[in-house]
Amino acid sequence: MTANLKRGASTENDKKPKKAKQNIGSDSESELSDVPDEPQQPPQVEQVTQVKQESPSNLKHASDVTPKVENTNGLEISSDLVNLKEIENNKVSNDQDLNTSTVSPKKPSKSNKPSDDSDFDEKPKARSSRRSTSAKKEKKENVTDDEKKTPKKTPKNSSQPPNQTPNGDVKDEGDEEDDYKWWAEQGGFGDGTERWSTLEHNGVFFPPEYIPLPKQVKMKYDGKLVELSNEAEEVAGFYAAVLGSDHAADETFNKNFFQDFQSVLRDYPPLDGTKIKDFEKCDFSPIREHLDIEKEKKKAMTKDEKKRTKEQRDEIENPFTHCLLDGRKEKVGNFRIEPPSLFRGRGAHPKKGKLKLRIKPEQITINIGKDAKIPDAPPGTNWGSVQHDNTVTWLATWKENINGAYKYVYLAPGSTLKGQSDMSKFEKSRELKHYIGNVRESYEADLQNKVMFDRQRATAAYLVDRLALRAGNEKGEDEADTVGCCSLRCEHVMLRPPNLVTFDFLGKDSVRFYQEDIKVDPQVFKNLRIFKKEPKGPQDPIFDRIHTTVLNNYFRGFMKGLSAKVFRTYNASITFQEELKQTPNEGTVAEKLLSFNRANRNVAILCNHQKNVSKSHDATMDKMGDRLKALKYQRRKLRQMLAQVADDKKVYKDHPSFKDEESDLEDEWMDAHEENERDKEVERQKKKFERDNEKLRNEDQKEMKPEDLGERLQEVEEKWKTVTKERRAGKPDVGKKNQTQLTTAMQKMEDRLEAFRVNASNKDEVKDVSLGTSKINYIDPRITVAWCKAYEVPVEKVFAKTLLTKFTWAMETSPDWKF
């Protein structure tokens, strides 16, 4: 069983805790009066929490993780000035860019792949001029009569049609969308609710209709083949696909699946009259085998066939991959409608395994520009509705049948729209550094407030800030039982005097948050003790007076747009920047990357971003251990060679470590290693012999005789015998090598060994930490770009292609930029 260690087991408390009891106890002073009124604790400047992680490997960096950056108002001014200048400069150069690119003859298209010829390329397009903030515009209006939503707000104004460049030129190459440097323009978005002026697209891509299985492929019930209806067969196939996974071993998953399967069977009964009543008697393996065979077939296709299939697929998807937004061609993200399947809820989701239905065009609402052509729904169908709301960024939406949640089709992360949001997110969290001092001062003072409400709010704020907890909205009975700050329950927090707190709970995605004996502000400790006090039980909420809205309203009082999640971004970015500051600007790129990744890792730990340890991890580590020993073996040889020729003792004075013997290198292992190496060489010789003979045959020359091979092999045997003998005697043959050569070789070997060790331990340390999430969502990319420039590390080494696209807006950051 590959029980997911990371996720908390669903077992223990299967009963959902009761809903938050409101106002347990009273707000009276007496309630709080058991707190000996501490002689004003000066707000501890350094409330460095000792973060201890579950895994020992995390211990080392634990205390570095907690953000320690204090309000830096004064200090940062200079860097901000630099910044302004920089922006100014960019602006100028970009304006030039704009002019030249619109006036100059069109650039040759970067690519002439057919897939770039979307419908949109035929339309005239122009770079949009910046959205004007003052014009007025109309509210969205639905085309169909079944309008269900009313506009929430009246977007302010509108701008002139942007399909033309200022000089009237028309942009004609669709794949030049990258040229638009929105980040270099003033203002940006955010002062209005309007997100675009014109929007054209072709709708969404639907998954193919269900293709029934071949006649002979059938599930079995009670040992007998069953003739399922196509409808039921499709659902059976969904289950067959999860056979062998953790899902198929999950009771809830199976129960939910079977319930929905039976309901489909009621509507579309088996053609042979079989009554399917018992899940245990169902055998989906014949379908699974068929699916596996199909998969194999696909894998076995030749390169050409695969390429062709891909091209065909691209061809039919092509109309949906891009849209025209404010006249620019932009990539759409999830243009494929989610195919039907079994709902794969995470953790102990009560609805996991339920049937996720196929989405019909009638369920979809299309959002598109007012003057744009409304895309055709698939033949014989209609869209549910069409609207023209430019205060939102989605192109299509539908309601999903499991949780009744809305799903949206958005632009890709590399698009202008997403880029703007992303940048403004980081700008907002960057602004927090000017307010963080106030915020901390305020909640630290309130930790001793006589009013329970205020004290809880302050304590929650402390946890959000210092531990990077999520806000923790209330959740329903029909969701997995996970919590965040405001929804923490007594059972999640253990106290150990004088001021150590252990947190153990399931957070987002049912990822376990476990930190033992964190040192907190003594007042926070006292507060938590009070909040946990009788009559509260383990299932009762710690923070019974507050919820996320209260907390966020409080934060908003300090700074526009400040909410709990901003602290995560702020702390992640600031931590990363501080960590990078420590990295040495010397050594190879590989070494620099290693320290970069270490900084990244510390941020990931701060945010509790985890991943499953890969199945092959242990094997990989074993292999690395072997390769390490092989290196040590070579070092041993070098060391003993050097010992034979080192006539002056200066070598050892300069390099005292050259005398050290290799640890952990047993004779047995070396025996086996040499045998191994010998066998490998024998194999190589045999193969070479074959190859050589083949060549000779082809050239019509006489082949070598088997005896020739025997002779060669004999030599190999002899050679290794000698090696073993010399090694056992501790006197390997030095040959013609002199002391200088050996010293250099030894030094190189030492370096290699060290690099290898660092690499291996790094790999082990990072086995259960997911670096991607923080890199993608929390760390301001400008920190990374600035570091790369200052340290002369190519930015492609740290950002893969999609991230480079996503972060184009950050690529011009100067090396001295500060978050």
Partner DNA sequence: GCAGGCGACTCAGAAAACTCAAT
Partner DNA sequence: AATTGAGTTTTCTGAGTCGCCTG
What are the φ/ψ torsions at residue 513 (nearest 5 degrees)?
Answer: -105, 110
State the pairing for strand pair 282-283/220-221.
antiparallel
Choose which of 178, 272, 278, 509 interacts with DNA (CB under 7 A): 509
Choose which of 448, 482, 499, 523 interacts with DNA (CB under 7 A): 482
Choose which of 123, 611, 637, 655 interacts with DNA (CB under 7 A): 611
Q: Most distant CA pair in the chain: distance in Å?
A: 106
Rounded Cα distance between 348 and 643, Å, is: 63
Tell me whether residue 593 or residue 646 sits nearer to DNA (CB atom). 593
Q: Considering the complex, what minimum distance in angstroms separates the CB of residue 97 from DNA?
A: 25
What are the φ/ψ torsions at residue 179 (nearest 5 degrees)?
Answer: -70, -20
Choose which of 228, 235, 423, 471 interacts with DNA (CB under 7 A): 471
State the pairing for strand pair 220-221/355-356.
unpaired
Q: At what angle do helices 230-242 and 285-300 cross, to 10 degrees?
A: 70
Q: Considering the complex, what minimum distance in angstroms separates the CB of residue 40 from DNA?
A: 31
Apex 499 CA angle, 496 and 501, nearest 5: 55
Tell me whether residue 217 or residue 337 sits nearer to DNA (CB atom). 337
* Residue 325 near residue 195 (C-beta atoms within 8 A): no
Q: Which of residues 720-759 bind DNA (CB under 7 A)?
A: none
Q: Which of residues 120-149 bind DNA (CB under 7 A)?
A: 148-149
Q: Show the site string, 406-445: x = touches DNA by CB under 7 A, - = not.
A: xxx-x-------x--xx--x--------------------
CB atoms near residue 327 (< 10 Å): 27
Rounded Cα distance between 456 and 449, Å, is: 9
Tell me whether residue 155 or residue 732 sits nearer to DNA (CB atom). 155
Q: Which residue has the tokens 């004003």?
A: 40
150 interacts with DNA by CB under 7 A: yes
Tell me whether residue 33 or residue 312 sits nearer to DNA (CB atom). 312
536 interacts with DNA by CB under 7 A: no
Query: Could you tell me the strand order of the sheet in which 512-519 lies?
Result: 52-53, 512-519, 500-506, 493-496
Nearest to 638, CA basis, from 746, 752, 751? 746
Q: Considering the complex, what minimum distance in angstroms separates the CB of residue 739 from DNA?
A: 31
Q: Considering the complex, what minimum distance in angstroms separates the CB of residue 624 from DNA?
A: 8
Tell me whether residue 180 or residue 398 sits nearer to DNA (CB atom). 398
Q: Which two tokens stand for residue 594?
A: 């290693």
Q: Considering the complex, what minimum distance in angstroms separates the CB of residue 404 from DNA?
A: 6
Residue among 180, 554, 570, 778 flagged as catalytic: 778
Q: Which of residues 151-170 bind DNA (CB under 7 A)?
A: 152-153
561 interacts with DNA by CB under 7 A: yes
Q: Who contacts 327 (Cβ-Cβ below 8 Å, separation ≥6)?
A: 125, 126, 127, 128, 162, 163, 164, 171, 198
Q: For the range 668-674, what are the long-range contacts, defined as Cβ-Cβ under 8 Å and sequence gap of 24 or more?
A: 669/629, 670/633, 670/727, 671/724, 673/629, 673/630, 673/633, 674/720, 674/723, 674/724, 674/727
Region of 93-101, 404-412, 711-719, 730-738 interacting with DNA (CB under 7 A): 404-412
620 interacts with DNA by CB under 7 A: yes
Q: Considering the complex, what minimum distance in angstroms separates the CB of residue 775 from DNA?
A: 9
548 interacts with DNA by CB under 7 A: yes
Q: What region, left, alpha or beta, does residue 608 occupy, with left being phi > 0 and alpha being psi -120 to 50 degrees?
A: left
Choose which of 484, 541, 732, 781 interacts with DNA (CB under 7 A): 484
List, in sequence order, every residue forming a beta bridge with 518; answer none if it has no partner. Answer: 501
Q: Show the site string, 317-346: x = touches DNA by CB under 7 A, - = not.
A: ----------------xx-x-xx-x-xxxx
Q: Considering the complex, what minimum distance in angstroms separates the CB of residue 251 from DNA?
A: 16
Choose which of 217, 458, 490, 511 interacts with DNA (CB under 7 A): 511
Q: Which amino acid is at 44?
A: Q
Tell me whether residue 331 or residue 655 sits nearer to DNA (CB atom). 331
Choose which of 58, 527, 773, 808 interacts with DNA (CB under 7 A): 773
Q: How many residues bind DNA (CB under 7 A)?
A: 88
* Residue 566 near residue 428 (C-beta atoms within 8 A): yes
Rounded Cα distance between 331 and 802, Å, is: 12
Choose which of 107, 113, 277, 556 interacts with DNA (CB under 7 A): 556
244 interacts with DNA by CB under 7 A: no
Choose which of 131, 328, 349, 433 interacts with DNA (CB under 7 A): 349
* Residue 483 near residue 349 (C-beta atoms within 8 A): no
What are the φ/ψ torsions at residue 755 (nearest 5 degrees)?
Answer: -60, -40
* Residue 433 near residue 568 (C-beta atoms within 8 A): no
Q: Considering the complex, what minimum distance in angstroms separates the CB of residue 200 from DNA?
A: 17
Q: Does 652 qualify as catalytic in the annotation?
A: no
Q: Considering the complex, what minimum distance in angstroms separates the CB of residue 456 from DNA?
A: 14
401 interacts with DNA by CB under 7 A: no
Region of 28-36, 61-69, 513-521, 547-555 interacting with DNA (CB under 7 A): 547-555
Rounded Cα distance between 680 and 713, Å, is: 11
Choose which of 51, 325, 566, 788 interacts with DNA (CB under 7 A): 566
Q: Considering the complex, what minimum distance in angstroms separates the CB of residue 138 from DNA?
A: 16
Q: Which two tokens stand for residue 334?
A: 């999830």
526 interacts with DNA by CB under 7 A: no
* Residue 589 near residue 79 (C-beta atoms within 8 A): no
Q: Show the site string, 361-400: x = touches DNA by CB under 7 A, - = not.
A: ----------------------------x-xxxx--x--x
Q: Considering the complex, what minimum distance in angstroms separates the CB of residue 796 from DNA?
A: 8
Q: Which of residues 170-199 bind DNA (CB under 7 A)?
A: 195
Tell me whether residue 633 or residue 658 sits nearer to DNA (CB atom). 633
Active site residues: 778
